[in-house]
Structure 1
Amino acid sequence: MQRIAEVLKRYPIVAVTLGLLLVVIVLDLAGAGGPAQWLATAYVIVIIAMTAYSMVRDVIRGHFGLDILAVVAMAAAIATGEYLAAMIVVLMLTGGEALEDYAELRARRDLNALLERAPQSAHRLDPVHPDLPATDLPVNEVAIGDLLLIKPAEIVPVDGTLVGSEAEFDESSMTGESLPVLHRDGDRIFSGTVNRDRAVTMRATADAANSQYQQILSLVRDAQQQKAPTVRLADRYAVPFTIVSLIIAALAWWLSGDPVRFAAVLVLATPCPLLIAAPVAFIGGMSAAAREGIIVKGGATLEALAKSRSVAFDKTGTLSHGEPELVAVQPAHVDLDADRLLQFAASAEAHSSHVLADGVIRAARQRGLESLPVSDASEHATQGVEATVAGHLVRVGKLSFIRENDAAATAAELDPGQTAVMVAIDGRFAGSLILADALRKNAPQTVARLQEMGVERVLMVTGDNEQTARSLAGEAGIPEVYANLRPQDKVEIIRGLTERPVTMVGDGVNDAPVLAIAEVGIAMGARGSTAASESADAVIRRDDIGLVARAHEIGRHTYRVALSAIWLGIALSLGLMLIAAFGFIIPVVGALLQEVVDLAAILYALRARTGGRSRGEKTVTTHTTRSAQHAQTGSSGF
């Protein structure tokens, strides 16, 4: 009873309608039909006026919706003395908002789960006396460098590094890894993961706003605020449905000579299934995607995924792991040994955000090479980095970038899947570093699955060299390759595709413009840049390329369910209208039956929450590897 009272308090018009309907029924049963009719008529006229006013405002804005059917149905019922049916229609319209809210709440359950588990506070330790009791503070007041206590079973509030003893963390909600992950002193710990069995200490490396889990929550909030395309979808059927309903009602009146038939038909034509079922389906699809680590920022994205005809992939960090390993160092001069060349390159690359820089730096550390002093470092977007290293001007990057200083620089001979980073010292070509970045194991299955779903063009757009790009694309089964691209080149290629809508998948800062220009931009956000995530329409929060295909599956399933829910409501309404046209359904019964149609359409729409995966169906997704979980954020593609 308390819950019912809360609902009625939240929806006062529903409460008033229910109260007056009960009064009208009591008066009618008591033989006071006259007062009952006057009371119902007066109230319905007020609702008609309010609805008509809203309808006229929508028409002025160029939006032709379905309110006209409700207005005509209520007016017809009052005009024919069917005041009880008119009251039920009013209840249906006013209660539709409450019913939609309930259905949306159920459909949003998985999205809301992320928000509800967000840490609200942190336990800060005194840096001088860490043995003293911790001080609790709001999570948004945590500063970089703060020493924090994480108690057993608590969610890590911000990104940081583990201090002291080793501990296990549950990272399933962030990476999809079902087994606990063991971290040791100095390991990076992401917010949103759960400390397992023992209290540990960590040092914050980011504030709440810039931590991984809070960024996910921001994406979820954006997703919830985005209006799904469901109103547009329903309105495609609004005008024809309205015309057909009015024709059936008019013919029923004309052929029978009974105006009650007109009212009986129209109370069954009220359009709640079109207005409610489709939004519920799209929200359910967003919820299904969130369960699998895909944050979709709006229903429009699901609709575009459902219709996508082209899918373009970046290479490094998207189709490949984005963890290139150094396989060879090739000095160009006999007076420069391999270790010295690598040491110069790694020192300069320490000031680069490029994913290949991580491989160079990691290789130098493994060889025990210390970083040289660096000054005047600057990164040239998509080209490379230039810095003064130990008094020498060093350039590291693309061959074209090095040839700006030394036209005699020569391309390295590469095996399939390899990439070359060129080095110049004091304006002279110094040599090449050869790196290899392996294709993700499930990339070929992902491409094949997209093609099975009807995607007409699958292509790679990358800033990497053509030989490497074609080799990796061949392994993945991608027939169309565009290499040596700058960010603006990627934009032009995607803009020029005729098979639309286009889905673009990337992970780096240089992918942000092309993710924004595509109908659907999907960011590999587990390790990718914040810029890419912010400009994308969907963000994959697990390091798994297979979820790109899964996102398309969910989009297609959601769109099919939304359309089916609309057609289910239309079919049931039309069938009942034809029965009412022959006088077999009176207006009061028709109004009650329409509520059943609403419920059927909404229950069907909730099927979108399944995501469309049948029991036992194989997926192309894989769990992230331990090394991927520990990798630092990087951007893709020279």
Structure 2
Amino acid sequence: MDQPRPFFVRYPVFASTIVLAIIGGVLALTGLEEAARWIISIFALAIAAKESVGMVRSILKGSWGIDVLAVTAIIATVLVGEYWASIIIVLMFTGGESLEDYAESRAKRELTSLLDNTPQIAHREVYSSAGAEKGALFATKDCPVAELNIGDVVVVKPGELIPVDGILLTPEATLDESSLTGESIPVERVKGDAVISGSVNGSAVFRMEVTALAADSQYQRIVELVKEASESKAPFVRLADRYAVPFTIVAYVLAITAWILSGNPTHFAEVLVVATPCPLIIAAPVAFIAGMSRAARHGIIVKNGGTLEKLARIKTVAFDKTGTLTHGQPVLSKVKTAPGIEEDELVRLAAIAEQYSAHTLAHSIVVGAQQRGLTVEPCTDVTETTAAGLTATIEGKKVVVGKYSFIAEQDPNAVRVEITAGELAVYVAIDGKFAGALLLRDELRADAPDTLQWLSALGVRHTLMLTGDGQVTAEHVARELGVTNVRAECLPLDKVRAVEAVTDRPVMMVGDGVNDAPVLAAADVGVAMGARGSTAASESADVVIMKDDLHRVARSIEIGQQTIRIALQSIWIGISLSLILMVLATFGLIPAVVGAGFQEVIDVIAILNALRALGTSRWLVKLHLAPRSLQPQQSSV
């Protein structure tokens, strides 16, 4: 990991301003007032010249912002001899920018790189002359994924990521495609089926033929989608920039008026002195840093101040289903037994057999038995049949667990159980007789209903669910939660297009998997459930929820709304008090030195008010929008 750069290297202008201010102070205290004035004035004008370059470029592009007001104020204070005011303006301006950069960088350090989980090595089959003598024409040789060519045969071991897109050559394989499609239940593929990169192999080795180069495979396309979506985002206008130009115009009008009324150019300068933009320059960044710190205390990482502004105005929230609105891990929900078989006995025997399988559903069955208080003891003679099931000897009984077709081989009279949307059945036979079935489903998160109601109370008008699941399952979940719109069977690009089509913006997207990374980058605000989410999702998101709590999605919007409200209060406090001083200065009632002193008082007031966004004070007004009377209910999908 790269070592953080020293403060002076990372923020040279801000650091230099502090050093020059200290040197000027020492010179003034030692009687060298004139030297202090020259050093600080020259430095302030140099900074103004430097900022003027960026200011002119922005103006030529049609963008007017806080830089105009800052440069004007620095030059004006130097010209009227208020060099201490000029160095304070420089300090506020460079400090505000540095604060924003520091907070954003610190938030990003909590995350890892996008490509951490990208497959790097593949096991390619190569001709082996030595093996040919023993009857084995091919052996596997590790090679970089980028070196694979179309038509190569690759071996994928249990638990490994599929390195590139291809076609299955082995009779059967069980794949976990949840990171790509969002579907939590493993899928079965047979010979000739397409397999996609980024999927996770189950418990058996399989062979596949490469059909796409690494750069053209699904996982790499997701990475490229993230980059494209991030680059296509429109630049966001800083909060203070929206007030800078009107405030500057008013200041100039009052200053010129003062000059005309008095005939004295000194009054022009006196008005500009009290018009220094420190409340605009520093109040909003301080409020944003405070709001981001408050969010962090709630386990919410907000990457920058612009995101807080967007959070405050969210009108549409889109959700991934699996792992976001649901737990993302199938659980044992129902038990169907044949006559004479007890539920707990069926679950116990199935769990004892399944404890030796690496299949995702096997783990769910074992956990289901433990939650029922059943003892999962060791057993012997366990044999697993790839993509079908397993057979075990338990307490002298032959127990077979797996697909319906596998159980039907044991007992042709086996009965298919009726399942609903989102359910999956695992069948069991005991001593050659059908014994029943275990039904598994992905349960709704208990905090999902509350979160959706809280979002509505916060002013969110539309909710949207984007999922790789089938239409029937998706609509069932939407009905359970009251989601207003559903898009099912979505691939990553489909999700991006769905978000781009939303008209009531800003739009927030909440997800947690690799398949969500592109749409998180494309949304106005992408939120990654980072406690269980992928690196790709976290890196491409604007907000990362570090704790597995959906309520924090609504909390982030509430914090954004409160932060912006306090930032606007701070800005308007500064503007209002400055306008009062400017009017007084227009009539010659405030000398330049006194005006500079008053302006610093305004700065302090604006900053102290902005710090209220930390939310630690008892007198901070709270919105109390979270539903308090709602009792979360465990529902299923």
Cα distance in 2 between the residues matched to 1:469 and 1:413: 19
Match of residue 52 from structure 1: 48
Match of residue 541 from structure 1: 546
Residues 40-189 of structure 1 mapped to structure 2, 5 A cutoff: 42-43=38-39, 45-62=41-58, 64-66=64-66, 69=69, 72=72, 82-83=80-81, 86-96=82-92
Residue 592 of structure 2 is aligned to residue 579 of structure 1: no
- Could you tell me whether the CA contact under 8 Å between 1:505 and 1:522 is conserved in 2? yes
Residue 299 of structure 2 is aligned to residue 288 of structure 1: no
Q: What's the secondary structure of 1:463's corresponding residue?
A: coil
- Could you tell me whether the CA contact under 8 Å between 2:512 and 2:534 is conserved in 1? yes
Structure 1 residues 414, 579: CA separation in 2 closer, same or farther (over 3 Å shift)? farther
Taking only the aligned residue pairs, the percentage that are identical comes to 45
- Could you tell me whether the CA contact under 8 Å between 2:55 and 2:68 is conserved in 1? no
TM-score (norm 1): 0.59
User: Which of the numbers 6, 14, 23 marks the counterpart of 2:21?
Assistant: 14
Cα distance per residue 1:466-488 (max 9 Å; x no partner): 33333332232223223333333
Match of residue 419 from structure 1: 423
Match of residue 494 from structure 2: 489
Cα distance in 2 between the residues matched to 1:268 and 1:589: 9
Match of residue 524 from structure 1: 529
Q: Point out the more displaced range, 590-599 or 47-56.
A: 47-56
- Could you tell me whether the CA contact under 8 Å between 2:52 and 2:71 is conserved in 1? no
Q: What's the secondary structure of 1:232's corresponding residue?
A: coil
- Could you tell me whether the CA contact under 8 Å between 1:70 and 1:267 is conserved in 2? no
Cα distance in 2 between the residues matched to 1:432 and 1:516: 42
Cα distance in 1 between the residues matched to 2:108 and 2:505: 32
- Could you tell me whether the CA contact under 8 Å between 1:509 and 1:532 is conserved in 2? yes
Structure 1 residues 513, 371: CA separation in 2 closer, same or farther (over 3 Å shift)? farther
Structure 1 residues 348, 413: CA separation in 2 closer, same or farther (over 3 Å shift)? farther
Q: Point out the more displaced range, 501-510 or 466-475.
A: 466-475
Structure 1 residues 247, 44: CA separation in 2 closer, same or farther (over 3 Å shift)? farther
Give 1:560 shift. 1.8
Cα distance in 2 between the residues matched to 1:75 and 1:97: 14
Structure 1 residues 487, 434: CA separation in 2 closer, same or farther (over 3 Å shift)? farther
Match of residue 194 from structure 1: none
- Could you tell me whether the CA contact under 8 Å between 1:523 and 1:540 is conserved in 2? yes
Cα distance in 2 between the residues matched to 1:553 and 1:55: 35
Cα distance in 2 between the residues matched to 1:66 and 1:298: 18
Structure 1 residues 547, 250: CA separation in 2 closer, same or farther (over 3 Å shift)? same
Give 1:539 shift. 1.8
User: Which of the numbers 257, 267, 271 marks the counterpart of 2:273?
Assistant: 267
Q: What's the secondary structure of 2:292's corresponding residue?
A: helix
Structure 1 residues 616, 561: CA separation in 2 closer, same or farther (over 3 Å shift)? closer
User: Which of the numbers 459, 477, 487 marks the counterpart of 2:464?
Assistant: 459
Q: What's the secondary structure of 1:313's corresponding residue?
A: strand
Cα distance in 2 between the residues matched to 1:484 and 1:348: 33
Q: Point out the more displaced range, 564-573 or 87-96.
A: 87-96
User: Which of the numbers 553, 556, 569 marks the counterpart of 2:574?
Assistant: 569
Query: Which AA in structure 2 matches 1:420?
Result: L
Query: Which AA in structure 1 matches 2:84?
Result: I
Give 1:49 shift. 3.2
Give 1:372 shift. 6.2
Match of residue 213 from structure 1: none
Cα distance in 2 between the residues matched to 1:444 and 1:357: 29
Give 1:576 shift. 0.7
Give 1:440 shift. 2.6
Cα distance per residue 1:333-385 (max 9 Å; x no partner): xxxxx99x989x96998366xxx67535646997778896679x8xxxxxxxx
Q: Give the gaps of 5 or more residues in structure 2.
A: 1-13, 112-234, 338-345, 392-401, 404-414, 428-435
Q: What's the secondary structure of 1:460's corresponding residue?
A: strand
Residues 504-523 of structure 1 mapped to structure 2, 5 A cutoff: 504-523=509-528
Give 1:589 shift. 0.3
Cα distance in 1 between the residues matched to 2:326 and 2:628: 14
Query: Which AA in structure 1 matches 2:54?
Result: D
Cα distance in 2 between the residues matched to 1:270 and 1:14: 18
Query: Which AA in structure 2 matches 1:471?
Result: H
- Could you tell me whether the CA contact under 8 Å between 1:295 and 1:541 is conserved in 2? yes
Cα distance in 2 between the residues matched to 1:241 and 1:521: 33
Give 1:113 shift. 14
Structure 1 residues 100, 495: CA separation in 2 closer, same or farther (over 3 Å shift)? closer
Q: Give the gaps of 5 or more residues in structure 1.
A: 1-6, 28-35, 116-228, 332-337, 378-385, 391-395, 398-409, 424-430, 626-636
Q: Point out the more displaced range, 273-282 or 322-331.
A: 322-331
Residue 451 of structure 2 is aligned to residue 443 of structure 1: no
CA RMSD of aligned residues (A): 4.9
- Could you tell me whether the CA contact under 8 Å between 2:315 and 2:462 is conserved in 1? yes
Structure 1 residues 350, 520: CA separation in 2 closer, same or farther (over 3 Å shift)? farther
Cα distance per residue 1:468-517 (max 9 Å; x no partner): 33333223222322333333332322222112221111223332332232
Give 1:22 shift. 4.1
Give 1:432 shift. 8.8
Give 1:106 shift. 13
Give 1:299 shift. 1.8
Cα distance in 2 between the residues matched to 1:486 and 1:78: 59
Query: Which AA in structure 2 matches 1:537?
Result: D
Match of residue 237 from structure 1: 243
